[in-house]
Chains A and B, each alone.
Chain A
Amino acid sequence: MEMCKPILEVRDLYVNFYTYAGIVKAIDGVSFTVCEGETFCLVGETGCGKTVTSRAITRLVPEPGRIEKGEVIYYTPYGKINLLELPEEKLREIRGKEIAYIFQDPAAALDPLYTIGYQIAETMVEHKTVSKWKEAFIKAVEVLRSVLMPDPEKRVKAYPHELSGGMKQRSVIGIGLSNQPRIIIADEPTSYLDVTIQAQIMDLLRKLKKERKLTIILITHNMGLVAEMCDRVAVMYAGNIVELGTVEQVFKNPLHPYTKGLLRAVPNPLTKIEKLEAIPGTVPNLIYPPPGCRFHPRCSYTMDICKREKPRLVEVEPGHHVACWLYSR
């Protein structure tokens, strides 16, 4: 295994949402490290908190959410900074320049009233990647070319509604890459696309990552995608990371009952399964989460301690962590 040079480290992140119904404890003490140059995946069901976590990294959590506690350490060539304590202006400089996002729905992410060329140029001008708008528009064409947009000179003047889903997502990726970021956080980048386009986009991402030595944090619920794209994966459930390790480790040797259940529920090209199984029960209400381990109501291996105390992430084998009382005392 290679040495991990950390580029991003999330420590003990707690995020609450203050709604009229009550306080939603969405993220309940999440910690992980992302290594430079790798593709790190955050996986889990809808509502498990992976999107919120990804947003929390650059303090993009919208009202009524609040980051209660925790640190996000970003390793720059000039030293470490805690993104959660950075003044807003400095943080804004990092967003879109060193850490770039790709959102799920490219149609919604693009402002329908502006051309994509403008939106690309705008991002560059904002971060002073270029000094003049004219330059920015010329560069925008190059950006589009780099994301393999067909006929970029024409497309740069196009409005979002004039492009197909795949082209829109390429534009979003282009926007993300325009300022030469170090980290890309891609939040389910292909959920809204056809399967064939999915493959194209993922190929593109892979290519770009190699060319520019990017670190990618990929958020998805698609296990197949994980198997294809990721180096390391963290499995989230109800606001907690329940298992963390390399793709090989997690897929070949799932430790956490939830992970096992997940893998049984989807076809897994790495092992052979007889039939697909659903995990009994539903995702818990995070306003009144179950005490102790949040998975225990659905777990077949529940023990007394599971109902009382929350398990910590423990390293079971090098690089493979799990948070389950089955593996720790």
Chain B
Amino acid sequence: MAELKRFLIRRLVTFIPTLIGVTLLVFIIANLIPADPARAWAGGEKASPEVIERIREEYHLNDPWYVQYVFLMKKLFTNDIVSPRTHNKIWDDLIFGTSQGVAGAGTKYGRFFITLQLTLFAFLYIVFIGIPLGILSALKKDSLLDSTVRTLALVGVSTPVFWLGYLLIYIFFVRFRVIELAGFPEPTQRITGIMVIDALLLGENDIAIQIINRLALPAFVLGFIGIGVIARITRNSFLETWNADYIEFGKARGLRKSRLMRHALKNALVPIVTVLGLQFGGLLGGAPITETVFGIPGMGRYMVEAIRNFDYPALIGGVLLFALIYMLANLIVDIAYAFIDPRVRY
């Protein structure tokens, strides 16, 4: 365990140069584009020169890029910088929520946490539909079920997200009014950052149900591709382990099927966990279309707008968050390996 702690600390330390590297890279790329964002921020073609000049000064756009970068990072660190597009502090927009404790004004949860919740739901779909389907498919190899699942997985990967969204909206909103497309229910207090957990902790079960109802369909759409991918990976990985010698030996020892499956599954986990980790990062990035179609005010949409408008502060802040989450997901995957496979050493 002490080794694990040292490993963790070492990895966490590598976060810092990675974050700096990522944000610097994005910043430089954004700066390479010969555009003057101040004009767009100030109202486009109607902007007056004084306003543009003031914005330029405030955001240090007249200074060389490294000065700008340091300024941005410093201000981001202290949450002292306001997005010229949303007029909110970046971390308020993304993490802390904008309502400042006043009911009704904005949201208690930042965009990031809204997307995170959506992503977690999608992740649950992937894990609880994809993995069992994959195992079933593997156990009944080459059967009707197996072929169907594999073909559907292929269909899943090829389906455009918004098309699926439209179809499901037609069924579950237009024909049978089961879901809602507007609003975003929130519990009365923010505790962990995940709305549904907070609602349950506070005993506000009806709000928790509303949240689940609101997110059930968009999460399914978001996770759809992932379900197919995980089903395939699980199937292959499981097949590999199911044919391993220790399973045969297990049979020879007279172990019952469920016990054997435990062995097979645990061994199959390593590639599955790897792919799940990658999926999680991908889900975060795949959210914009789903969020737009279902009207969810999340981070995907926010980042698309930031990119469109060269909103540097929001861009860097968002990139920072994304990078952090990717690295954390990878770290969790690596730690998970250590718990699953004793042969893995750090």
Contact = CB atoms under 8 A, between A and B. Distances in A.
**Are A and B close enough to touch in the complex, i.e. CB under 8 Å?**
yes
Interface of A: 58, 60, 62, 92-97, 100-101, 103, 105, 108-114, 122-123, 126-127, 159, 161, 172, 175-176
Contact of A122 (B259, B266, B341): B259
A172 B342 CA distance: 19
Residue of A95, A97, A108, A113 most packed against chain B (CB within 10 A): A113
A161 B342 contact: yes
Contacts of B75: none
Contacts of B248: 60, 62, 103, 109
B343 A103 contact: no
Contact of B342 (A62, A103, A113, A122): A113
Interface of chain B, helix or strand or loop or mixed?
A: helix
Given A97-B254, A159-B342, A109 B267 contact: no
Given A101-B252, A122-B255, A126-B255, A111 B342 contact: no
A181 B50 CA distance: 93
Contacts of B341: 112-113
Contacts of A94: 254
A103 B266 CA distance: 22
Question: Interface range on chain B: under 10, 10 to 19, 20 to 34, or 35 or more?
Answer: 20 to 34
A3 B180 CA distance: 84
Contacts, number: 74
A109 B254 contact: no
A164 B255 CA distance: 25
A176 B249 CA distance: 10
A207 to B, nearest CB: 22
Interface string B246-269: 101111111110010001001100
Given A100-B253, A103-B248, A114-B266, 16 more contacts: A58-B252, A60-B248, A92-B254, A95-B251, A95-B252, A96-B252, A108-B246, A108-B249, A110-B249, A112-B342, A113-B340, A113-B342, A122-B259, A123-B253, A175-B253, A176-B253
22 contacts: A60-B248, A60-B251, A92-B254, A92-B256, A93-B254, A96-B252, A100-B253, A101-B249, A101-B253, A105-B245, A109-B248, A110-B246, A111-B246, A113-B266, A113-B340, A114-B266, A123-B255, A126-B255, A127-B254, A159-B342, A161-B343, A172-B249
B154 interface: no
A126 B246 CA distance: 16
Contact of A126 (B252, B256, B340): B256
B257 to A, nearest CB: 9
